[in-house]
Amino acid sequence: MRPLLLAAGLLALVACRAPEAGSAPLKIGSYGPLSGPAASWGVMLRGMEAYIDFVNANGGVHGRKLAFVYRDDQYNAAKTPLAVRDLVEREGVFAMVGGIGTANGRAVADYLAERKVPFFTPASGAAIFTDPPRENIYSVYPRYDTEGRIIGRHLAGTLGLKRVAVLHQSDDFGAQGAAGLAEGLASAGGELVLKVACQASDTDVSGQVSRVVEAAPEALVIFTAPRPAVLAVQRLHALGNKPQIVTSFVLSDAVMFQLAGADVWEGTLTTSARVLANSDDPAAVQYRDVLKRHAPDLPVGNFTVSGFAFAQPFVEALDRAGPDPTPEKVYAALRTFHDWAGGGPYWKGDGVNPPLTFSDTRHLGHDRLFFAQAENGRWRRVTAWLSEDSEPTTPNKE
């Protein structure tokens, strides 16, 4: 009997030990458009992969490597459930991190909740994901209605651009951004003079552009995928009738200069929810170094920065959760973030996100943005961090 008890005790000790370097990797899943009308966004997945490769190269999390497995859903919400089921049921992913798209995330959110799979930062600012808080969803992706209010207050209150139009996608992304914009404008004495909708897959927006020209706004705000945004701005530029263009942070990547033409995109304002990829911020410098070492084929840009932004806090939560993570331990670890501004294990100094705070009642880590402007084929930051409660300054042309 004594040898049996000793053997049982040894087995218990082995079971409680931290995973060794040879342990099976912990699988992290995601999905996004690697092809299709929104393929420009797909590099966010590659950005996450580069950061995870960086973590693995430094020893993993508690000695355990991470495996990042993702699927191409072509930004088609009808295809997302099949991709996610494959990741959960066949690949056995522990968590879903950064799946791209509002309708896409909506299509799988309930399934992931039923399967008790953590869903960290669905890449969407739709209110449905964080208001009210869901047990398995935490996010660092600001809400679109908040973004709209910040843009509206900045245009009308700071820049003195009172008459504003919006081109928005026909989904929660576009509708909530446009609604917030109207509220922000009204709060600063501005007016939304035109709302015109499009689809992400549209290849012709000339009708929408004609309505914008007729409305003669001082600024046009765009809440769409890259393709219709590029088509609209190119058409306005060709007509010589381009108002101040302002885009959601979903169009804040340098690829927009290539897609539209740097001269066409010149002067465009965008918001950003994380450090600019080409800036001198120490986090951006470190991001570029990691990208060069672990994904040298990837372009430096705010979309790949977004991949880092999604992965850094999740990997930090895994580290805080201990050597045997469970969904509940990860949620508890996230709730210990109080103005956390790091970049996860092995990262030096601040990460690419602004400070993050989570709690039982707050599953959205931050809701701040700043503005950047297109200048000679690059983004230049032109404001401090802003919230929807930030007071407009004296009108000026930044």
The mean per-residue pLDDT over the stretch 135-151 comes to: 98
Q: What is the pLDDT of residue 164?
A: 99
The mean per-residue pLDDT over the stretch 12-24 comes to: 46
Q: What is the bridge-based pairing of β-strands 119-120 and 95-97?
A: parallel
Reply yes or no on whether the pLDDT at 395 is more than 80: no
Are residues 281 and 341 in contact, defined by beta-carbon separation less than 8 angstroms? no
Tokens of 312: 């850094």
Are residues 84 and 110 in contact, defined by beta-carbon separation less than 8 angstroms? no
To 5 degrees, how large is the angle CA 324–CA 330–CA 332?
115
Cis peptide before 132 (omega within 30 of 0): yes
Q: What is the pLDDT of residue 121?
A: 98
Q: What is the pLDDT of residue 389?
A: 82
Tell me: the pLDDT tens digits for 313-332?
A: 999 999 999 999 999 999 99
pLDDT category of residue 5 using cuts at 50, 70 and 90: very low
Q: What is the bridge-based pairing of β-strands 219-223 and 244-247?
A: parallel
pTM above 0.85, yes or no: yes
Q: Measuring CA to CA, how many Å separate 83 from each of 30, 32, 108, 119, 306?
A: 9, 10, 10, 15, 21
Q: What is the pLDDT of residue 23?
A: 82
Q: What is the pLDDT of residue 33?
A: 98
Q: What is the pLDDT of residue 22?
A: 47
> Which of 125, 91, 90, 105 shows the shortest CA–CA distance to 33?
105
**3-class secondary structure, 97:** strand
Q: Which residue has the tokens 């799979």?
A: 117
Q: What is the pLDDT of residue 393?
A: 59
With residue 163 as reference, give the H or E element that holds it. Answer: strand 163-169
Query: What's the rounded Cα separation, in Å, for the pair 180 and 301?
Result: 27
The mean per-residue pLDDT over the stretch 349-359 comes to: 98
The mean per-residue pLDDT over the stretch 369-381 comes to: 98
Tell me: the pLDDT tens digits for 209-247?
A: 999 999 999 999 999 999 999 999 999 999 999 999 999
Which long-range CB contacts under 8 A does 173-177 form with residues at least 24 apart?
A: 173/102, 173/124, 173/125, 173/126, 173/144, 173/223, 173/250, 174/223, 174/224, 176/125, 176/126, 176/127, 176/143, 176/144, 176/145, 176/148, 177/125, 177/144, 177/145, 177/147, 177/148, 177/221, 177/223, 177/248
Q: Is the dihedral of CA 309, 99, 96, 132 positive or negative?
A: positive
pLDDT category of residue 11 using cuts at 50, 70 and 90: very low
Q: Is the dihedral of CA 188, 191, 197, 203 positive or negative?
A: negative
What percent of the chain is predicted at pLDDT more than 70?
93
pLDDT category of residue 392 using cuts at 50, 70 and 90: low
Reply yes or no on whether the pLDDT at 388 is more than 90: no
Domains, the chain, in order of start with CATH, read: 22-142+279-334 (3.40.50.2300), 144-272+369-381 (3.40.50.2300)
The identity of residue 63, as a single letter, is: G
Query: What's the rounded Cα separation, in Å, for the pair 236 and 242?
Result: 5
Reply yes or no on whether the pLDDT at 153 is more than 50: yes
Are residues 57 and 362 in contact, defined by beta-carbon separation less than 8 angstroms? no
pLDDT category of residue 20 using cuts at 50, 70 and 90: very low
What percent of the chain is predicted at pLDDT more than 90?
91
Q: What is the pLDDT of residue 391?
A: 74
> Which of 385, 379, 383 shows the shortest CA–CA distance to 396?
383
Tell me: the pLDDT tens digits for 289-321?
A: 999 999 999 999 999 999 999 999 999 999 999
Question: In this structure, what are the phi and psi dihedrals at residue 66, rounded to the nearest 5 degrees?
Answer: -110, 140
Tokens of 126: 């739709």
Tokens of 68: 């990042």
Tell me: the pLDDT tens digits for 95-105?
A: 999 999 999 99
Q: What is the pLDDT of residue 19?
A: 39
Query: What's the rounded Cα separation, in Å, for the pair 342 and 305?
Result: 14
> Which of 310, 309, 330, 305 shows the shortest CA–CA distance to 320?
330
Query: What's the rounded Cα separation, in Å, for the pair 287 and 370?
Result: 19
- The number of residues in the chain equals 398
Q: What is the pLDDT of residue 100?
A: 98
Tell me: the pLDDT tens digits for 111-142?
A: 999 999 999 999 999 999 999 999 999 999 99
Computed over every residue of the chain, the mean pLDDT equals 93
Reply yes or no on whether the pLDDT at 166 is more than 50: yes
More confident call, 8 vs 74 = 74
Tokens of 300: 């430096």
Q: What is the pLDDT of residue 340?
A: 98
> Which of 229, 304, 309, 228 shows the shortest CA–CA distance to 268?
229
